A and B are shown apart, each in its own frame.
Chain A
Amino acid sequence: MNMPPEERLEGARGAWSTRFQEYRLMWRALRRDRLAVISLVIILIFVLAAIFASWLAPYPDQAMGKSNLSERLSPPSRTHLLGTDDVGRDLLSRILLGSRPSLSIGFFVVGLAMIIGTPLGAIAGYFGGWIDQAIMRITDIFLSFPPLLLAIAISAALGPSLFNAMLSITLTWWPWYTRLARAQTVSLREQTFIEASRAIGVPGFTIIRRHIIPNVLTPALVQATMDIGSALLMGAALSFVGLGVQLPKADWGNMLTVARLYFNDGPWFAIFPGLAILLVAMCFNLLGDGVRDVLDPQSRRVG
């Protein structure tokens, strides 16, 4: 028997494989929630639109930034389904292309925050003592900044660009995952199967990797699904203020910055990009709701 020692303990084997089985059951349960499924479909559509934007856009060069002054601020028509912006660029194309930075911020920020924050929280929760105190104090300090403010400040310090915006928002987001993971770990730590593993001498980090992280992952994923929407909103806010994607590159936030100045003459310019943000954020929130309802018992523990 060449199994590592703790695998011989019942219940200690493959927390990861149990997770995958669980996820399959959850997926089946999720399918019954119509709202969540619709949201998922819409999100997938947006993701595909983002990937294939250059091919889907009716006016790809305008989407990139080429102006078309003769048709500036024209209302929605058959040639321009959503109208044009202040320099005549097709709004539909710009919005399609603008989905790229927005969605990237959402996924990147949440992904990175989870990757950084969750293990940190698990370590803090598992080892306790001064490691716990140190990590949690740093987390507290970061959490003491209003998120938007911190992101704006860091973005300004680093210089406005999409990448810096992503970085700064991630820096404001990771503490939430640390806190989440720590709370989960602390309650997990007391469970017998962890004690058993410890009793036969499994090193701490292995326990964390094999048993704690998979259990902590589920509430983290629920949180993450909803957070993508919020991260997207924050990204839009940053570019609205001028600290994200710079014009003429298309981004839903920076489109609104300009649209604001022209809303008397061209309200559609202000309405459609915002509508896109609203739609995508809503879908992520509804999907997150569905996911959380499916995983109900666990999320209650963390909520």
Chain B
Amino acid sequence: MARVEYIIRRLLLAVLVLVGVSIITFVIARMIPSDPAALYVGPRAKPETREAARVKLGLDRPLYEQYLRYMGEVFRGDFGISVRSHRPIIDDLKVFLPATLELVFVSMIITVLIGIPLGVVSAAWKDSWVDQLSRIYAVINVSMPVFWLALLLQLLFVRQLGLLPIGSRVSREIAILAPIDHITGFYLVDTLLSRNWSAFRDVLSHLVLPSIALSSYAVGLSIRMTRAAMIEVLQQKYITAAWAAGLTGRIVYFKLALKNAIVPTLMVLGLSFVWQISGAMLVEIIFMWPGLGTYLIKAILTIDFPIVVSVTLIVAVFYVFTNLFLDLLQAMIDPRVSLQ
């Protein structure tokens, strides 16, 4: 019962935080110095057109009213219209959001498959050469500017070796010869669903470099975090007791110790997930990836305020839900949590 109470409390908290986030986003966006109405109609419009635009965009209303109106629309799925392109933002989102998410998901898979086991092994064979190497690898990953890594990868694999494509999600040949059915927006999934094998290989090859670049920071962090957590757990008396009961390394490390170490690791993974959503921005620029990041950066530089608000809001929502999910996961793993 305590657990159910905890879950409800956490949900309410998440809602509260979301409201706060939306308010702050709105305020920040309005701080961008410029007149959205002027941008909307362009520099050559007449003052009357501009005034009409101002009313249409609701800019003549007090701030809180603008906010409430905007929130209402968001809940109905209407994210407004781009000030520059006059296109509904929701249409843009439908294309760009899956692109970024696909990149982030692949990157997360890499993180989990490499980061966690390396962390466990590092801790189990503490101070051995395996440990030293993986620690060096982790520190480099964590200290590396991700956009620089992306550039280096391009330099090596594209320019020098010519192995992989330089950017975007699909090559032009495939786009023409074997176009992808836009079902979910996740090209890996879409190509599999429509058995478009050549397109699948093409999409995969385009995902390799960006996801490796994007996952680097998270891999480094996961290795460090898992290793630290495991080392601490391995010093606990209940692990000694497990050894004293004759349990083998496989059971002790990967079942008993890992479960105790997994909580801080999960936290890091969750942080990594959201970090990667924003880090994706930098990677997208380098690899010309048509995702949320490039969309947002362009919007900021062209002062397209509705887009800035919408994208920030969406990413923040992801963040909040990921944290919520992690807290609930932690409550499920660690029975003592709900007591706090």
Q: Do A and B bind each other?
A: yes
Instruction: Evaluate contact between A141 and B21: CB separation under 8 angstroms.
Output: yes
Instruction: Evaluate contact between B148 and A264: CB separation under 8 angstroms.
Output: no
Let me know if A47 is at the binding interface, CB within 8 A: no
Instruction: Evaluate contact between A282 and B148: CB separation under 8 angstroms.
Output: no
Known: A156-B32, A241-B282. A137 touches B308 (CB 8 A): no
Chain B 291-317 interface mask (CB, 8 Å, partner A; 1/0): 000001100110100001000100110
Let me know if A240 is at the binding interface, CB within 8 A: yes
CA distance A36 to B21 in the complex (A): 39
- Neighbour of B17 across the interface among A137, A240, A270, CB < 8 A: A137
Q: How far in angstroms is the closest Cβ of chain B from A173?
A: 14
Number of interface residues of A (CB under 8 A): 47
Let me know if A274 is at the binding interface, CB within 8 A: yes
Instruction: Evaluate contact between A303 and B228: CB separation under 8 angstroms.
Output: yes
Chain B 1-40 interface mask (CB, 8 Å, partner A; 1/0): 0000000000001001110110011001101110000000
Let me know if B320 is at the binding interface, CB within 8 A: yes
Chain A 124-146 interface mask (CB, 8 Å, partner B; 1/0): 00000000000001101110111
Let me know if B122 is at the binding interface, CB within 8 A: no
Residues of B with C-beta under 8 A to A141 = 17, 20-21, 24
Residues of B with C-beta under 8 A to A148 = 275, 278-279, 281-282
CA distance A241 to B308 in the complex (A): 15
Q: Return the chain B residue nearest A152 by Cβ.
A: B300
Chain B 313-334 interface mask (CB, 8 Å, partner A; 1/0): 0011001100100000000000
Residues of A with C-beta under 8 A to B28 = 153-154, 157
Residues of A with C-beta under 8 A to B143 = 229, 233, 278, 281-282, 284-285
Q: Return the chain B residue nearest A281 by Cβ.
A: B143
Instruction: Evaluate contact between A263 and B232: CB separation under 8 angstroms.
Output: no
Q: Residues on B close to A: CB < 8 A? A: 13, 16-18, 20-21, 24-25, 28-29, 31-33, 139-140, 142-148, 151-152, 154-155, 159, 228-229, 232, 264, 274-275, 277-279, 281-282, 285-286, 296-297, 300-301, 303, 308, 312, 315-316, 319-320, 323
